[in-house]
Structure 1
Amino acid sequence: MNCYECRRVSGTTNPAEAVCSQCGAGLCSAHVRIEKREVHQPHGLGKSSADLPGRRIVCPVCERAEHSE
């Protein structure tokens, strides 16, 4: 699989190293956006979030769409 953003923006072909969790586009290391997210796991009345954050991978387009106001 090749990076969709490289092909779309500059017409080049670079191997993808990750996949956007929202749209499924292949991403190279230059276009991948890694976000931290809180992981919730219901445990009755106790703490429901993990101590360490999880990882979420998105493309630049999905990142902009999610963070625009």
Structure 2
Amino acid sequence: MDELTMEFSNTRWTRSSYSGSNGGNCVEVARLSSGHRGVRDSKDPVGAVLLVTGRQWSIFVAGIKRYDF
């Protein structure tokens, strides 16, 4: 297992506070030690992870707050 895979399995993943309690369509985000963010489907925690830089994540979140999407 490589270092990044180990970090994904040992990190704390969080869901949006807007996610329902029924386990519906949710994404989870993890802050990694490198400053990157991991994004995954909460229904498939061992599946693929989208890796973005901290800057990319900040731009994305700012866009959401401005209702750009």
State the TM-score bracket (shorter-chain normalisation): under 0.3
**TM-score (norm: length of structure 2):** 0.26
Question: TM-score scaled by structure 1?
Answer: 0.26
- More helix, by proportion: 2
Structure with more contact order per residue of length (Cα contacts < 8 Å, sep ≥ 6): 1
Say which one has the larger Rg: 1
